[in-house]
């Protein structure tokens, strides 16, 4: 053998020996340091969506799976999963699937750029959070949606899209009620609502009537017509805004929206989209409103 070949043989022999030794140690460690784990965790995790969205109240899908096995929660708590897969989990664990009404994220504002005026130009970072920190953003209505799309960006399920008027529209089929949009909106306009809450106030403006109407065409002015038309106690006016008492949701019907002059109170149809009453002012404008003139001096 030439010296070069013997060197190669020595090196590969050494590496092979080292490999065998380390493999032996690993094999030994695998046996000695084995932590017994419930194999069902793995199985259940495979049936979960693995989105780690946190909508169930646990940090991610694995902690949720562990909680399921411990019997602390029920499969239906996962709103992202399909009912069939949740049923499969329930069968695997021999528990009932549990019931939970489907929640969806809902926005309490209808003030797109074509109906809600702006009073100042905002030029900074394209983020609602940033705009809200600069004098509350440039929108005339200080309560309303700024339309810069923090919610669209925060939604991991692509369930929120800004429409042409800069207003977020929730795709209720995709919405998993994870709550990310609720957390990010600086104006607190999103909330998670059971789908059975069909009667909905699509506005958050608490200003008195004249001021509110100067800022937005679809504002709730607190006129009280819906309060009169709805069964007693279902709707009340608080700080110039209609508030629905959802403990009496069984009484709700589209009657309440019929006389609303601005269409601020709506009935959510089966497709998840809001329907205005017949007296609501028709909006035909497609262009954004121009910037407001400074209000006359008081």
Binding residues for [4Fe-4S] cluster: 53, 56, 61, 78, 141, 145, 151, 155, 175, 178, 181, 185
Going by their DSSP bridges, the two strands 160-162 and 168-170 should be labelled as antiparallel
Using CB under 8 A as the binding rule, whether residue 297 contacts another protein is answered as yes
Residue among 194 and 288 whose Cβ is closer to another protein = 288
Using CB under 8 A as the binding rule, whether residue 130 contacts another protein is answered as yes
H helices within 33-60, ranges in order? 39-47
Distance between CA atoms of residues 105 and 176, nearest Å: 8
Residue among 206 and 259 whose Cβ is closer to another protein = 206
Sign for the CA dihedral angle at 244, 250, 252, 254 comes to positive
Closest approach of another protein to the CB of residue 113, in Å: 16
* Cβ partners under 8 Å of residue 124, min gap 6: 130, 131, 134
Using CB under 8 A as the binding rule, whether residue 294 contacts another protein is answered as yes
Among the listed ranges 68-76, 137-145, 155-163, 252-260, the one in contact with another protein (CB under 8 A) is 137-145
Q: What angle do CA 226, 191, 198 make, to 5 degrees?
A: 40
Using CB under 8 A as the binding rule, whether residue 207 contacts another protein is answered as yes
Among the listed ranges 64-72, 105-113, 119-127, 170-178, the one in contact with another protein (CB under 8 A) is 119-127
The only residue of 26, 135, 228, 243 in contact with another protein, by rule CB under 8 A: 135
Distance between CA atoms of residues 88 and 83, nearest Å: 9
SS3 199: strand
Q: Identify residues 145-184 at the interface with another protein (CB under 8 A).
A: 183-184
Q: Tell me the number of residues near another protein by CB under 8 A.
A: 29
Closest approach of another protein to the CB of residue 284, in Å: 28
Q: Identify residues 211-250 at the interface with another protein (CB under 8 A).
A: 239
Distance between CA atoms of residues 170 and 45, nearest Å: 28
Closest approach of another protein to the CB of residue 166, in Å: 17
Closest approach of another protein to the CB of residue 186, in Å: 8
Distance between CA atoms of residues 274 and 95, nearest Å: 37
Distance between CA atoms of residues 195 and 168, nearest Å: 18
The only residue of 40, 100, 197, 206 in contact with another protein, by rule CB under 8 A: 206
Using CB under 8 A as the binding rule, whether residue 127 contacts another protein is answered as yes
- DSSP E strands in 155-264: the ranges are 160-162, 168-170, 190-194, 199-201, 235-238, 241-244
Is 125 within 8 Å of 108 (Cβ atoms)? no
Using CB under 8 A as the binding rule, whether residue 288 contacts another protein is answered as no
Closest approach of another protein to the CB of residue 262, in Å: 20
Binding site for another protein (CB under 8 A): 119-125, 127, 129-130, 132-139, 142, 183-184, 186, 206-207, 239, 294-295, 297-298
């Amino acid at each position: 053998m030439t010296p070069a070949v013997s060197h190669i043989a020595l090196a590969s022999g050494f590496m092979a020996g080292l490999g065998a030794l380390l493999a032996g140690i690993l094999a030994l460690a695998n046996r000695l340091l084995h932590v017994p784990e419930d194999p069902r965790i793995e199985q259940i995790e495979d049936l979960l969506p693995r989105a780690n969205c946190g909508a169930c109240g646990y940090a991610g899908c694995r902690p949720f799976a562990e909680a399921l096995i411990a019997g602390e929660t029920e499969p239906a708590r996962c709103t992202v999963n399909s009912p069939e897969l949740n049923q499969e989990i329930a069968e695997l664990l021999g528990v009932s699937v549990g019931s939970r009404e489907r929640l969806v994220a809902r926005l309490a504002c209808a003030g797109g750029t074509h109906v809600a005026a702006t009073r100042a130009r905002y030029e900074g970072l394209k983020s609602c959070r940033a705009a809200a920190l600069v004098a509350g953003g440039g929108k005339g209505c200080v309560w309303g949606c700024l339309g810069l799309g923090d919610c669209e960006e925060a939604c991991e399920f692509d369930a929120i899209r800004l429409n042409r008027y800069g207003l977020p529209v929730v795709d209720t089929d995709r919405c998993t009620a994870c709550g990310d949009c609720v957390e990010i909106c600086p104006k607190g306009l999103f909330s998670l609502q059971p789908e059975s809450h069909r009667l909905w106030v699509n506005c958050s403006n608490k200003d008195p009537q004249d001021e509110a109407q100067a800022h937005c065409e679809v504002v709730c002015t607190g006129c009280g017509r819906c309060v009169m038309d709805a069964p007693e106690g279902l709707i009340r006016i608080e700080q110039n805004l209609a508030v629905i008492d959802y403990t009496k949701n069984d009484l709700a019907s589209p009657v309440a929206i019929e006389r609303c002059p601005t269409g601020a109170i709506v009935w959510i149809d089966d497709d998840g989209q809001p329907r205005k009453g017949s007296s609501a002012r028709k909006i035909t404008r497609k262009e954004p409103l121009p910037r407001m003139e400074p209000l006359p001096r008081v």
